[in-house]
Structure 1
């Protein structure tokens, strides 16, 4: 497939390139970005040490920061989440919805069932099993701030509506915005599989590969790390509750939760180091079946370890095992620290929530930037370029035909002076811009 052919397509002297570049990760060996990996590793380990040695101090600081964030910027979370829903739905129904996330005509890598299973496991998994029943009941007994149900029926409606807000369009729109931007940048534009690469059409390739791009990837790793740790913590709390309900343990303390986290960490690290094609796909399929039959929890921490490894190693699709293992172990350690806030009791859940919200707040700005960058990219997509060029060429031919032949003309396709590459195999016949011609001779 040619990568350097250009031509004109009714846009004056502007080149129209409608081909797709090759895969930048092909035949690459994992290369660690020392800045991205070093900064995130040092700060994360410092957080673990802080939480292990001064848990009360960490709890006080995080609570104070969260209160300030919710008081001053809580409205921004609601507005951004709703904006992502509108953006995702608009993309789906717009002309951009026909664009393939990959080479044109390329077959999907996974079966639909496996893909849905992986999305379920990584996207909802533990959270759905933990909150599926508990959240509506919690909102029913303690109505959300700003709501004043008149009676039990009104309280029930408010509780279900709030739960649906958390688990339907809004969370999946957030996943879709990030996933779509990365998938398009990586598999359509053939850039590195990093968050910073998505920003190339917005800030330029030089900045995306420089300091600003590294800052974006660092924020992405922190958001992924603490989000995965929170999911893992929810699973540990749920298993601990099971021990208590089955009378295997009188009290579910921090020691038991740490042991559970260690076991879960070993499991998802083993899945992660085996890769998406084997471990994660098999585990996700198994999780889907177990979730439907036994309603057990699942975790996306294995996939998150690979994601953090990819971001640490310049977008390589298969990061080195030692990096994946490192981030898996660190995720388990961060989870333990988050649960230490509250001594593994009722406040442990608040500790998970507080730290996750705080770390994810800066990434909200990154997500808004991803939406803007994605739109800029989509406007120059080969499919869109060909369509716009074709419409413009036909319009020009019609105008010229009316002016020259007073409306009595036909449009024919023939060889022209320029070429628009399509990224598809060339057909046997000639191609070129349409040109008007006079009435045919009889």
Structure 2
């Protein structure tokens, strides 16, 4: 292939149907919020009540299925399959891979809920725990349920979505979009109306799930400015912060994934590690060392019980505000985080991918909450700080209030705001890259202008939801958009298993596969994608592999 023809082939082609409908629908929500915010808030609230009442159980069951399936795949014969050619090496080093995965997956949420969630569970324990509020038993239940919400289940959701997309993209050469993973179920229809419908659902889930995270980030930065400067925390400030950070994202987007996202993600992880180590050293170190194994032990011991709670026998309101909201949030993030993790995971084996995605971030989240949440609980119990009152004013106040009771508050508060801002930029960058791929027929290198437009729309949605109803409005939008997508994710599990079961590594074994030249077929497929040639053309020619 000549240089000019290669460049022409490499130019990403926007799917006018998916992009047009996606832009129009998201813009309609933005305009609805601008011109009739009360109507938007009422509609979201009504829809949320109906969803939780009728489908709360579905979110719980689906999350359990994803965890069981992820563990099964990691331990099965499918684990040796490589996400790419048989001789491919990982595109990114392990450190950068973990940093980008972690920043895209939960960055802002970890900052927002580091103190707020344990403290809120401490004052209002989960009904299933039977704990008395504001007692040592309530502290134990608070950390146990916090770990339940932030470790294995959410990352299992991401692992399944990411694995299906990485396999379809790099092993089968179909393109980096959600519909490409449905070829085993839909066949050629995955490139038609059915596939476009799936990609549109993924777009809506990505936009609103990402907007929720960005909205949380704006709330926390605004609260930090309010507490450390004379700037008042208002809705106007929230919008200004979103505009400013969206502008910063535009700069990052033009630097590409190998520079902007990679560098920012690494900086995020390093800054978060420094902040956590500081709190661990100057805070109640011995208490935290005891909290870590105790909370992990309680979490694992009660995992079967907590994972099957639906609120049917009491506590449905609590479940709707916490567990079901989280499962919906993670599901709404699945196409975004899954597509992004898939994009950065070429060259790893299925076992490396699943174990890395499932255990490394879960372990890091466990340590984070043990240090930050454990410190907050100890301060509350010893009277060092009244964090219950601060969190009651707004969950975004929790982390700053805890840091205020430790030395060097001015420094740590500034670091926290910088961290949240960086996570905002990284999250918007990652989500926009994914949306660009979904609307460019799965291109791994979507046009930068398209990426910027999507990032701007995400910021607009976040601003509209915040103005319409604040944190509650963000949560409502997340759960509503996740409902249809949970069905897509369930079908994705079936498609993934069918795909893995027909892989030449499994069906024929490595030696026979090489003898028949099937490895070369994989090489041809992935090479075609690298050149920007439609991967589906390869699939039609070779009938799959």
Is the pair's TM-score, using the shorter chain for normalization, greater than 0.5? yes
Q: Which residue does 1:207 correspond to in 2?
A: 189
Q: Which residue does 1:287 correspond to in 2?
A: 268
Alignment of 1:332-411 (within 5 A): 332-342=459-469, 348-387=470-509
> What's the offset of the Cα at 1:386?
1.9
1:158 maps to 2:151: no
| Maintained 8 Å contact 1:230/1:335 | yes
Q: List 4+ stretches of structure 1 deviating above 6 A.
A: 388-391
The alpha-carbon distance between structure 1 residues 340 and 146, as it changes in their structure 2 partners (threshold 3 A), is: farther
Deviations 1:246-283 (A, max 9, x none): 1422x311110100001111112221232111111111
| Maintained 8 Å contact 1:25/1:317 | no
Distance, in Å, in 2 between the alignment partners of 1:216 and 1:69 is 20
Q: Which residue does 2:335 correspond to in 1?
A: none
> What's the offset of the Cα at 1:25?
11
Deviations 1:48-102 (A, max 9, x none): 0000111111000000000110011111111111111111011000110111111
1:272 maps to 2:253: yes
| Maintained 8 Å contact 1:198/1:374 | yes
Q: Which residue does 1:11 correspond to in 2?
A: none
Q: Which residue does 2:320 correspond to in 1?
A: none
| Maintained 8 Å contact 2:131/2:138 | yes
| Maintained 8 Å contact 2:12/2:440 | yes
Distance, in Å, in 2 between the alignment partners of 1:279 and 1:92 is 31
The alpha-carbon distance between structure 1 residues 270 and 145, as it changes in their structure 2 partners (threshold 3 A), is: farther
What is the count of residue pairs matched by the alignment? 369
Deviations 1:178-198 (A, max 9, x none): 111000000011111110010
1:256 maps to 2:378: no
| Maintained 8 Å contact 2:177/2:441 | yes
Q: Which residue does 1:102 correspond to in 2?
A: 84
Distance, in Å, in 2 between the alignment partners of 1:25 and 1:108 is 25
| Maintained 8 Å contact 2:30/2:464 | yes
> What's the offset of the Cα at 1:369?
1.1
The alpha-carbon distance between structure 1 residues 102 and 358, as it changes in their structure 2 partners (threshold 3 A), is: same
Deviations 1:365-423 (A, max 9, x none): 111111110100111111112229969xxxxxxxxxxxxxxxxxxxxxxxxxxx62242
More helix by share: 2
Deviations 1:216-245 (A, max 9, x none): 000001111111111111111110110121
1:331 maps to 2:453: no
1:112 maps to 2:94: yes
Q: 1:43 aligns with which of 16, 25, 46?
A: 25
Q: Which residue does 1:172 correspond to in 2?
A: 155
Distance, in Å, in 2 between the alignment partners of 1:270 and 1:321 is 11
Q: 1:59 aligns with which of 38, 41, 48?
A: 41
The alpha-carbon distance between structure 1 residues 74 and 359, as it changes in their structure 2 partners (threshold 3 A), is: same
Distance, in Å, in 2 between the alignment partners of 1:195 and 1:27 is 22
| Maintained 8 Å contact 2:436/2:450 | yes
**Structure 1 unaligned spans of 5+:** 1-23, 343-347, 392-418, 426-442
The alpha-carbon distance between structure 1 residues 192 and 33, as it changes in their structure 2 partners (threshold 3 A), is: same
Q: 1:87 aligns with which of 60, 69, 76?
A: 69
The alpha-carbon distance between structure 1 residues 43 and 25, as it changes in their structure 2 partners (threshold 3 A), is: farther
1:33 maps to 2:15: yes
Aligned-partner SS, 1:124? helix
Q: TM-score under structure 1 normalisation?
A: 0.80
Q: Which residue does 1:181 correspond to in 2?
A: 164
**Structure 2 unaligned spans of 5+:** 1-5, 276-415, 522-545
1:423 maps to 2:522: no
Deviations 1:301-352 (A, max 9, x none): 211101001100101111112211110110110000110123xxxxx11111
Q: CA RMSD in A?
A: 2.2
| Maintained 8 Å contact 1:149/1:158 | yes
| Maintained 8 Å contact 1:236/1:260 | yes
Aligned-partner SS, 2:125? coil
> What's the offset of the Cα at 1:29?
1.6
Q: Which residue does 1:440 correspond to in 2?
A: none
Distance, in Å, in 1 between the alignment partners of 2:194 and 2:493 is 17
Deviations 1:28-57 (A, max 9, x none): 321111111111111111100000111111
Aligned-partner SS, 2:441? coil
Distance, in Å, in 1 between the alignment partners of 2:178 and 2:83 is 16
Aligned-partner SS, 2:10? coil
Distance, in Å, in 2 between the alignment partners of 1:389 and 1:200 is 27
> What's the offset of the Cα at 1:424?
6.0
The alpha-carbon distance between structure 1 residues 37 and 289, as it changes in their structure 2 partners (threshold 3 A), is: same
Aligned-partner SS, 1:423? helix
